[in-house]
Amino acid sequence: MSIENYADSFAGKRIVHYNEDTGATEPPGSCVYRIGSFDYDADDDFEELLERFLGDPTVHPIVGLVVGTWNNEMYDGDSADVVRMLAEAQPRMPHLRALFFGDILREEHEISWINQSDMSPLLNAYPELQHFRVRGANGLRFTDLSHDNLISLIVESGGLPEDPLRDVFAAKLPNLEHLELWLGDSNYGAVPPSFLTPLLTNNPFPKLRTLALRNYEFIDMLCESLIQAPILDEIRVLDLSNSNIGDVGVGHLLSQTDRLKKLERLDLHHHYISAEGMAKIRAIETPVDLSDEHDPNDEYRGIVAAE
């Protein structure tokens, strides 16, 4: 997943930019449409864009939706009005199963500058929703979240603060299988690894199989507590990618190799691990992604998305 290019797939379906001039270009229900302002000089109001999209009979049934930029002045205000519009549109999208709110490129709006709001009204409006993905953490909340059918929850940020983390850990999501958190950089709000303790020691999601703690400045420190955490006995895939993990983090992981061997897959891509460290982690025989390697001696070990 990248913030340099628009997502090309979501929830197993190809994403197609909606063009109101041509209408649907794919069989109904076979793709996920993306709506939003693609032109910096466009005057379109998001409410008008949404209305034209929902009024187009060629796009129904709408099974998935990707929302890009909702106006050209996103520095002012937050996403609350757009959340309200989408929640009110539920009767016109009764088959919606996947929603990505904020497919916004770096050149459009830096990830750490995206002003979000409480997502719970949106999730509550779609009780059959299975996949939810949101980008941007300023003002982001999931207050009193309870959802019986959500399978995957992805929160992308350049720095994920305490409040939305606490909301997620307190959420009632009995069928959640995939949790992905882009934890970010401390300069943009990322919290220390200790704030993840409630998740690691008392996993509230009984069906969780994939835990992705990605894009994190403090990944080496996190590995020290993670390798001892009870949650490792419950998941099958551990994703620590897009971070700045180095030999210190790998050393922590290798301190209990038996726990790593239980995993079906370990993802460490975008890393600063030495050749020796990579050889050691490969020796445990758990499939591991060590692609996108960087100089382990680099003084500035950056993560993929911060500002």
This prediction has a pTM of 0.95
Alpha helices of the chain — where are they, by DSSP H? 46-54, 80-88, 120-125, 162-170, 197-201, 219-226, 247-253, 257-261, 275-282
User: What tens digit of pLDDT does each residue of 119-164 get?
Assistant: 999 999 999 999 999 999 999 999 999 999 999 999 999 999 999 9
Residue 303 lies in a domain: no
Rounded CA separation 44/21 (Å): 15
| Dihedral (Cα; 126, 132, 136, 142), 10-degree rounding | 60
Q: Please name which of 205, 122, 104 lies closest in space to residue 158, comparing C-alpha atoms.
A: 104
CATH of residue 161:
3.80.10.10
Domain membership flag for residue 152:
yes
Distance CA 235, CA 116 (A): 30
Give a yes or no: residue 300 inside a domain. Answer: no
pLDDT digit string (tens) for 68-119? 988 766 667 799 999 999 999 999 999 999 999 999 988 888 899 899 999 9
Q: Which domain holds residue 162?
A: 9-289
In a domain, 295, yes or no: no
* More confidently predicted of 23 and 176: 176
Count: domains in the chain: 1
| CA-based R_g, the chain, Å | 20
Grade residue 234 by pLDDT with cuts at 50, 70 and 90.
Answer: very high
Q: Which residues pair with 301 in a beta bridge?
A: none
Looking at residue 44, what is its pLDDT?
59
